[in-house]
Amino acid sequence: MNKAVLLSIQPKWCELIANGKKTVEVRKSKPTLKTPFKCYIYETKGVCEVPQFIDEDGHTSYRGRGQVIGEFVCYYIDEFQVFNNGAVQNWNYYDLEKSGLTYEEIATYIGRDNIGYIWHISELKIYDTPKELSEFKRPCDRFLDCFLCRRHIRDEFGGCDSKIRRPPQSYMYVEEI
């Protein structure tokens, strides 16, 4: 299994990603993984103004699914800086259009005198049936003295069997089970 990233994304942004209108994700940080790497899209349970999907009972839902709805490959991450006056350095305006955010929203989100990152979305796959968080686990590279291994049941390979039970605040490293 290879390490990947599980990203928490609000439903309104998930819809734009699924429709191909949002092809970059703006974040305050980036993972330590070398590109390219796989990203799983966790749609948060946030409330939306427009209906998101029809549930199994036939009801229209105005909340996100709270499930992993798809995946993409991040081939590269660009870095930019927001200056103290709110100006953004090294920002490609084509990426601005593909982020779904305005220049001011990006500067406010990243914050003055901070670095921001543009994760590029490629090879997008939206699942027909969303996956549960329990279908993923935290990666474990240490087999002997890992904190998670001491807390969880070991799998058949002696590694940590720590299934994901809570979504990340921003992102977390995962492996698919």
For residue 48, give the nearest of 15, 21, 20 by alpha carbon. Answer: 15
Domains of the chain with CATH codes: 4-176 (2.30.130.30)
Of 2-6, 35-39, 93-97, the least confident: 93-97
Asked if pLDDT for residue 32 goes beyond 70, the answer is yes
Question: Which pLDDT does position 55 carry in this prediction?
Answer: 67
Residue 71, CA distances (Å) to 42, 103, 134, 137, 160 in order: 9, 27, 16, 16, 24
Residues whose CB is less than 8 angstroms from the CB of residue 76 and which lie 6 or more positions away in sequence, other chains included = 35, 36, 120
**Which has more confidence, 142 or 4?**
4
* CA–CA dist 99, 21 (Å, integer): 8
Of 62-66, 82-86, 123-127, the least confident: 62-66
Asked if pLDDT for residue 73 goes beyond 60, the answer is yes
* CA–CA dist 2, 38 (Å, integer): 9
Number of H helices, E strands in the chain: 4, 12
Mean pLDDT, residues 2-14: 91
Mean pLDDT, residues 138-164: 59
Of 49-58, 118-127, 151-160, the least confident: 151-160
- Tokens found for residue 71: 């995946």
Asked if pLDDT for residue 142 goes beyond 60, the answer is no
Asked if pLDDT for residue 38 goes beyond 70, the answer is yes
Q: What is the pTM of this model?
A: 0.83
Cβ-based neighbour number of residue 11 at 10 Å = 24
* CA–CA dist 2, 139 (Å, integer): 8
Asked if pLDDT for residue 29 goes beyond 90, the answer is yes
Asked if pLDDT for residue 137 goes beyond 80, the answer is yes
Question: Which pLDDT does position 86 carry in this prediction?
Answer: 77
Question: Which pLDDT does position 51 carry in this prediction?
Answer: 65
Asked if pLDDT for residue 166 goes beyond 60, the answer is yes
For residue 36, what is the enclosing H or E element? none
